[in-house]
Amino acid sequence: MHIRHLAWHGIGLPAVCRTLGLPVVFSFHDFYTICPTVKLLDAEQQFCGGRCTAGMVDCTAELWPAGSMPPLRHRFVHRWQAMMAEALSHCDAFVTTSPFARETLLDTFPMLAERGLRLIPHGRSFASMASLAAEATLDEPLRVLVPGNISAAKGAGLIAAVAALDLEREIEFHVLGAVDQVLEVPRPGVILHGRYERDHSLPMCKPSNRTSARCCRSGRKLTAIR
């Protein structure tokens, strides 16, 4: 049995599999097992690493309706981690996607190391590869393509802050995808192109559109790629 996520499932699922004699591989694609905030961002949007930061304003459980979760910060999160540790104890092997994720998970669940928490990066298959950035020039703004659903957790605040500092309008961020409330308000220097279908996004990336760089999120950072 391969469990890719426990959200909206009974956390007794691994124990049931063990009772049935089924080996279980558990994949960690986020930090839901550490805290139902999923991304480990506190109420002030600061990364906590699974250890509650100072403050009393409660954090938001991302995948559950408002009010359905007991107060998390300094309180229910400890019970949550204990319940998840029990569920994970019935699994036979574990997989996550990056060294940073592995270190964060082991900090909360050190027993994962006993059965091997393996690293398997996210895979991608491309029919072809192309270099699509246009050459930057001094007489035009640097146009940066930002593909994906860009929320506060994925760097929306950083984009907004850079745009606010760029009073000379030397940079244009072209966001290709959905945004949350951080970027949904129109602002100079940030152009929103809306949602896209992955197979139909290539025209937006071609040099004819004069994008000179693109940003991708790596862990909790935005990385510019020429």
Over residues 193-201, the mean pLDDT reads 74
Q: What is the pTM of this model?
A: 0.73
C-alpha distances in Å from residue 188, one per residue of 143, 159, 163? 13, 11, 7
Write the pLDDT tens digit of every residue in 40-89: 999 988 899 999 999 889 998 988 888 888 999 999 999 999 999 999 99
**If you average pLDDT over residues 129-148, what whole number do you get?**
82
Radius of gyration of the CA atoms of the chain, in A: 21
Burial 178-209 (b: 16+ CB within 10 A, else e): ebeebbeeeeebbebeeebeeeeeeebbeeee
Percent pLDDT > 70 in the chain is 87
Task: Write the pLDDT tens digit of every residue in 82-128.
Answer: 999 999 999 999 999 999 999 999 999 999 998 889 998 877 777 77
Helices vs. strands in the chain: H and E counts, helices first: 6, 9
- Check pLDDT > 50 for residue 222: no
Percent of the chain with pLDDT over 90: 53
